[in-house]
A and B are shown apart, each in its own frame.
Chain A
Amino acid sequence: MSGIIEFDNVSHRYPGGQDILTDVSFTLKRGELAFLTGPSGAGKSTFLKLAALLVRPTRGKITVDGRPLSEIRRGQIPAYRRQFGMIFQNFNLLQDRTVFDNVAMPLLIRGHSGEDIGRRVRASLDAVGLRGKERAYPITLSGGEQQRVGIARAVVAKPMLLLADEPTGNLDPHMAGEVMQLFMRFNEVGVSVLVATHALALIHRLPHRILRLDGGHLSERDEAPSVDTADEAFDDEPPFDDGEDAA
């Protein structure tokens, strides 16, 4: 069975620069959660951007859900992006909209009806532990809560795949732990998840595949890497409580 994301000898270089990725081959299996690690500038973001069609590879072939991305024309990109949910380091929430309106956006662009949106947004906020925060504005929430709004927005349309780019980069260890916990919970119900992160301390004990990007090359590591290779790992042990609201 083919993977949900397949990279086949993919290289990428930005115009005038050197290779960010060199001959990267990788498969994310359906229903798998994998972490993509590596130092800053190693190409983790580029990796995710290639999968999200924010950039096109210089060489090589990328297939998502059995469809070669090279076949997707510019006008088809929006429809392609609606197949997965994206989570960002800076949350990318709209500060002038309520939590509800932020989470509702993916449903709005799909033309869902008002009551359907209400139901799904509440269910999604419930799943990330933000029930009752619908009317709040993002600025009034903690970083961890804002990221959970971001996750609720990514999962509200029930995508088959989540792509997260440094989702805990702006969070303290406690909040980061909660966020990682959420990804695992969505993965348990069948969503494929790819998380780019350099928070090795958070993930090294988790029973998931960890890939390492360094100098544009991808290497796969065993499930229990030693912490000494973690470049910017947190010292604190992440408290994996049940995702209750810390604030």
Chain B
Amino acid sequence: MSASRRVSTQPSWTSRLALDHVRAIAATLAQLRDRPLSTLLTAFVIGITLALPAGLNTLLRNLDTASGGLQGTLRASLFLKDAVDAAAGADLARQISKRSGVSEARYLSREQALAEFKAHSGFGEALDILKDNPLPAVIVVTPDPRQPQAEVDALFKTLTTLPEVETTKLDRQWLQRLYAILQLVERSVLLVSGLLALAVLVVIGNTIRLDIESRREEIVVLKLIGASNAFIRRPFLYTGLWYGLAGAVLACLLVASAGVFLSDSAQQLAGLYGAQAQLSGLSSDAVLAVFGAALLLGWLGAFWTVSRHLSAIEPD
């Protein structure tokens, strides 16, 4: 009680308030400690309820990062007609790279294409058997990633109609589908998060309601001796905060352990797509959000319940 040392017989308004809060904190923590099982159970329910949206969000973010990596590789390959020689091809690439919405256009001559293919495909020696180089010259066009979808589409359409271009190949329809799915999942996560937040509110509210019921006698006595509503309300609000806090800690632990548990499988999956994806856990933003939401929900749940039930308890 170091705070009390400064307070004289006539406590000032601020030190009284500070003392009230310190006492409410100490009293509520002691109460929760005195019934560890029910406290832990409530915290677990809240923790699991919060872990679901937090975990889904982390998963979504990982998918987003992974697909973002794929978007970086989104390119169109313009296969040139054999009649276009190296100089004209390089010239065309320069012209294309100057177009708006194009971040890079690289010309690969037939020889370069062959060299690249040999280096990456592992069929290098097999290709040596062939007399002629079967590969066409190609211009690899990388669109500006900031470009909106529609303009990228329009750009590729124009490039396809160029007279030097034999055919184009752009690998993006599946990516568009992936984005659509991701968007749907993102919305669903938001919806589920809202519902689960409501669940946390109800769980905390109900726990506080039982708490109020079990301390009805004390509340009556406090009202009789003139305790202010704020004084009576305070410990319940802190209890709500503690449940939220404990729930947030458990939620973060749950998501972190899930991340560890899943990381091997995720790496394996990423490996199948040729990506080097590291499963990232909860970001610091997400941790902050979980704690912020949990504390807010704890306080709100308690406040909501206390305002509904406290006025009903009057001495008679």
Contacts and interface: CB of A to CB of B under 8 A. Distances in A.
Contact of A94 (B5, B11, B217, B227): B217
Contact of B20 (A80, A81, A111, A115): A111
Contact of B228 (A78, A112, A113, A115): A78
B217 A111 contact: no
A93 B225 CA distance: 11
A149 interface: no
Contact of B226 (A80, A94, A112, A115): A80
B17 A111 contact: yes
A12 to B, nearest CB: 14
Contacts of A109: 222, 225-228, 231
Contacts of B17: 111
A81 B221 CA distance: 12
B222 A105 contact: yes
B245 to A, nearest CB: 25
A78 B226 contact: yes
Nearest to B223: A78
A78 B227 contact: yes
**Chain B, interface size: which category?**
20 to 34
**Which residue, B19, B227, B229, B316, has most C-beta atoms of chain A within 10 A?**
B227
Contact of B224 (A92, A108, A110): A92
Contacts of B7: 112-113, 116
A152 interface: no
**Chain A, interface size: which category?**
20 to 34
A52 B223 CA distance: 11
Contact of A113 (B4, B229, B231): B4
B169 interface: no
A153 interface: yes
B283 interface: no
A113 B3 CA distance: 8
A115 B4 contact: yes
Contacts of A83: 226
Nearest to A49: B316
Interface string A36-69: 0000000000000000101000000000000000
A111 B224 contact: no
Nearest to A109: B227
B226 A79 contact: yes
Contacts of B1: 113-114
A108 B23 contact: yes
A105 B221 contact: yes
A111 B7 CA distance: 10
A106 interface: yes
Contacts of A81: 223-226
B284 interface: no
Nearest to B315: A54
B149 interface: no
Nearest to A97: B218
Interface in A72-103: 75, 77-83, 85-86, 88, 92-94
A153 B222 CA distance: 12
B225 A112 contact: no
Nearest to B220: A92
Contacts of A106: 225-226
A109 B226 CA distance: 8
B228 A79 contact: yes
Nearest to A88: B224
A86 B225 contact: yes
B8 A113 contact: yes
A47 B309 CA distance: 28
Nearest to B23: A108
A27 B230 CA distance: 34
A78 B229 contact: yes
6 contacts: A52-B224, A78-B223, A78-B231, A94-B218, A105-B225, A113-B9
Interface of B: 1, 4-5, 7-9, 11, 15-17, 19-20, 23, 217-218, 220-229, 231, 314-316
Interface of A: 52, 54, 75, 77-83, 85-86, 88, 92-94, 105-106, 108-116, 153
Given A111-B11, A111-B17, A111-B19, 19 more contacts: A54-B314, A54-B315, A78-B229, A78-B231, A81-B223, A81-B226, A82-B226, A94-B218, A105-B227, A106-B226, A108-B23, A109-B225, A112-B7, A113-B1, A113-B7, A113-B8, A113-B9, A115-B4, A116-B7
